[in-house]
Amino acid sequence: MTADVRSYLDFQKHVIFATCKDLLMFYFRNYFLGAYLNEKNMESINEEYITKILECVVFECKIEKWKYKKETFLNIAQNYFGVIIPISLIGHNIEGEVVLNLVLKLAPTDERYRVSGAVTIFFAKEIFVYSSVLPKYQDIQNNITTLSGFVVPKCFCINNDYCMEVIVMQNMCTEGYHPFTKDIFLDIEHLLLSVKCLAQFHALSFILREQDTALYESAKSTCVPLHRESNKRFLDILKDRLNKGFVKFSNTQYAALFQTLDKDCENIVEAMYKSVNETCLCHGDIWKENLLFKYMDGHPISVCMIDYQTTRMSSPAFDILYLIITATTSHFRRQHFKQLLDTYFQTLEEILREANVSSITYSRQMFEEDLRIVGPACFCIANTAIWLSSGLQQEGHVRSKIILDTEQKRELATNQYKTRIKNIIDDLNTYGYLNVAMS
């Protein structure tokens, strides 16, 4: 044991221990990591920084004579709201050799990402979910057979100090879970698994509300719904992307719709929480990139939901509709839209029935009403996400990862964006979730 670790242990008031099954949450504070993490303009993740984080992990796991190496599924990848580092940690305990396959998720190293405050909020939400919500969900699912397939990555340690946010979690890729990379859209096998997973996630929130009122109230105060007071910057981004969409559709029948949605954007977004029949703890950004799949004989058999930075109180109808319209084509939706909604709601009902949750009276009719209410907000947020993922956001702090460096690339990206958005508008209008005539 190093001298640093011994001295750190003297400051017990800075540490909170919590255990749940085989999940160990370990909060470490300024004293131990401050000198290494509190560098607001840190340009890179150095080896000493990583070592100090991992020392907390090996101490709690009783691992000695250890070493680590950075893996390369993305090596050190700067995502939109953080830095992701895959790590293999190898050491020994009383039983022999130990190998931990980890992912370090850290706050952005560039201070510019902290200006709006959004990143701070995102990490606070995700840390709350990993430290408080998911351990409770694991307890709940142990007694409910219809929840047995809900997969949660193990979490080894967490820090929530400003500019020192860290989550060290299990690398699910080494457990056989991988992103779907064959296409930008999911097929029916993957979608059916995904909507069942989402139904499980929502059902767990409903069960939590009945079984642990205090934790549920904490979730409500931490994972607040979208409104101007909680995230003005995000609402401004939604409006900006609607304006950009208006320009792209300026000579079409859809132009006035973008203007109408822009004008009423705040009320549209708040309706997801204020005007619906039921709310719960929702993922908030459930699209293809936040789902990992496990396979057998080439077919998906399990799914793991990741990235809880946008978790918020909202209508469950938003999550399911957002997943479907962002992860499918219009042709796919014409074939399978009702099937996916049926699968989702039936799964939700079965779980709540087995859990004997008497306080939830969420009928299919209520669910359908909520789909109509959240439709406009779902489109506004999907429009922003698709604009970003298409490569069209080339300025600002959060930029597209695709670089459009030629006019030909920009034109292709614009056409792809317009095709997807037009199809979503047409389909939502057909379902009665978005009224094009309102413009």
pLDDT tens digit string along 249-304? 999 999 999 999 999 999 999 999 999 999 999 999 999 999 999 999 999 999 99
**What does the alpha-carbon distance between residue 159 and residue 55 come to, in Å, rounded to a whole number?**
13
35-49, 63-77, 360-374, 401-415: which is most confident: 360-374
**What does the pLDDT read at residue 3?**
40
pTM over 0.75: yes
CATH 3.30.160 fits 178-438, yes or no: no
DSSP string, 267-317: HHHHHHHHSSS--EEE-S--SGGGEEEEEETTEEEEEEE---TT-EEE-HH
- Confidence band (pLDDT; 50, 70, 90) for 1? very low
Range 338-366 average pLDDT: 94
Q: Where in the chain is the domain with CATH 3.90.1200?
A: 178-438
pLDDT above 90: percentage of residues in the chain: 69
- Confidence band (pLDDT; 50, 70, 90) for 32? very low
When comparing pLDDT for 3 and 206, which is higher? 206
Contact 177, 302 (CB under 8 A): yes
**What does the pLDDT read at residue 7?**
37
pLDDT tens digit string along 83-135? 889 999 999 998 899 999 999 998 865 666 666 677 888 899 999 999 999 99
- Confidence band (pLDDT; 50, 70, 90) for 169? very high
**What does the alpha-carbon distance between residue 199 and residue 195 come to, in Å, rounded to a whole number?**
6
Per the prediction, the chain carries an average pLDDT of 86
**What does the pLDDT read at residue 315?**
98
**What does the pLDDT read at residue 342?**
98
Q: Is 307 left (phi over 0), alpha (psi -120 to 50) or beta?
A: left
**What does the pLDDT read at residue 25?**
33
